[in-house]
Structure 1
Amino acid sequence: MKIYTKTGDKGTTQVYTSEVLRLSKDDAILECYGTIDELNSHVGMLNALLVDSGHNNSDALSASFMYEIQKTLFSIGFAISDKPQIDASATTIIEEAIDNLQQNLPAQTKFILPGGGQLAAQAHICRTVARRAERSLVSVSKQQNVPEICIQYLNRLSDYFFVAARALNYNSNIPDIEV
């Protein structure tokens, strides 16, 4: 099977929602797909960095946890396509991870700039792309039936990556960059 079909060479592509649609490649649905895919790639990079650094000491920062996030992000794409496959407990799992990570962190008393160590910086990139994916999904939800859990999940996921960045810096004895 060839990877290229040449059917999109004129700026449109086929999308499968409740019906098969031919859409411009700059359509909000495709923008949303692309942003979620970009987020998934950044999560994959964070996961690779975690594995390479041997930093796998917490269930909420483990390779298997990142893999579950990636699978859920992939499922959100199906949900946009009118075939919801995201588990109803996905948001709760992220909230529990946030709570577990936060219990070991010092109280946050100031705004924090993205950065610190490489792992935390990548987590901050994931956070900002998750926020953009959430905004994009909200836009799509105005024209497509998007399950509410998808928006909730992306909202919580950005919070998770913020706390994960703090935890990664803390675990590496790197102070947060406070403003």
Structure 2
Amino acid sequence: MKLYTKTGDSGKTGLFGGDRVRKDHQRIDAYGTIDELNSVVGLVRCHIKDAELTDLLQTVQNRLFDLGSDLATPLNSKHADKVKRISSDDVTFLELKIDHMQSKLPELRNFILPGGHPSAAYLHLARTVCRRAERLVVTLSETEQIGDLPVIYLNRLSDFFFCFARFANQINGFTDIEWTNK
């Protein structure tokens, strides 16, 4: 099978189920940003040495693929039941990981500056791309039925990236730098 199909040369792309939409459609923008986020998470994985933590990020990447296909498949599509969608278990998984990492971190008393160890800096980048994806999915949810879980998952995932960035700094011997208003 060839990588290129030429079917998108007119500025349209296909959703799962066959519908064709413009490439600047809100749905495409939303799941395209999920794809971008997945690439950033792949970049983070390049900077993490611990196998358990890279496995954790790989799990997140798999869920991001699920979320992308979820968003690429309208709920009223004839193929809607063939797509793995984000579940409340996926949200709970993130919450458990956040709670575990947070229990090992000092209490947060102020805003912190993104940076520190390269893995932490990239996790902060993932957090901001995740927030952008969340905003796009919220916008999509105002015109398309997508369910509540994509927004909930992205909200929690952003918290996960923030907590993981702090955790990555700690395990690599870096101290978070607090924001000062001076």
TM-score when normalising by structure 1: 0.89
2:41 is matched with 43
Count the aligned residue pairs: 170
Contact persistence 2:16–2:69 (CA under 8 A): no
**Corresponding residue to 1:55 among 50, 53, 67:** 50
Per the TM alignment, residue 12 of structure 1 is displaced from its structure 2 partner at its CA by 1.3
Local SS of the residue matching 2:19: strand
Structure 2 CA distance for aligned equivalents of residues 126 and 34 of structure 1: 14
Structure 2 CA distance for aligned equivalents of residues 16 and 93 of structure 1: 27
**Corresponding residue to 1:68 among 38, 49, 59:** 59
Structure 1 CA distance for aligned equivalents of residues 134 and 3 of structure 2: 29
**Counterpart of 2:119 in structure 1: which amino acid?**
L
Local SS of the residue matching 1:95: helix
**Counterpart of 1:40 in structure 2: which amino acid?**
N
1:148 is matched with 148
Structure 1 unmatched ranges of 5 or more: none
**Counterpart of 1:34 in structure 2: which amino acid?**
G
Q: What pairs with 1:101-112 in structure 2 (closer than 5 Å)? A: 101-112=101-112
Which stretches of structure 1, 4 residues or more, deviate above 6 A after TM superposition?
A: none
2:135 is matched with 135
Local SS of the residue matching 1:89: helix
Structure 1 CA distance for aligned equivalents of residues 147 and 63 of structure 2: 13
2:174 is matched with 174
Structure 2 unmatched ranges of 5 or more: none
Local SS of the residue matching 1:23: strand
Contact persistence 1:105–1:167 (CA under 8 A): yes
Taking only the aligned residue pairs, the percentage that are identical comes to: 41
2:23 is matched with 25
Local SS of the residue matching 2:88: coil
2:87 is matched with 87
TM-score when normalising by structure 2: 0.88
Per the TM alignment, residue 88 of structure 1 is displaced from its structure 2 partner at its CA by 2.6
Per the TM alignment, residue 78 of structure 1 is displaced from its structure 2 partner at its CA by 2.2
Q: Does residue 99 in structure 1 map to residue 90 in structure 2?
A: no
Which has the larger share of strand? Answer: 1
Q: Does residue 164 in structure 1 map to residue 171 in structure 2?
A: no
Per the TM alignment, residue 143 of structure 1 is displaced from its structure 2 partner at its CA by 2.2
Per the TM alignment, residue 106 of structure 1 is displaced from its structure 2 partner at its CA by 0.8
Structure 2 CA distance for aligned equivalents of residues 43 and 145 of structure 1: 27
2:32 is matched with 34
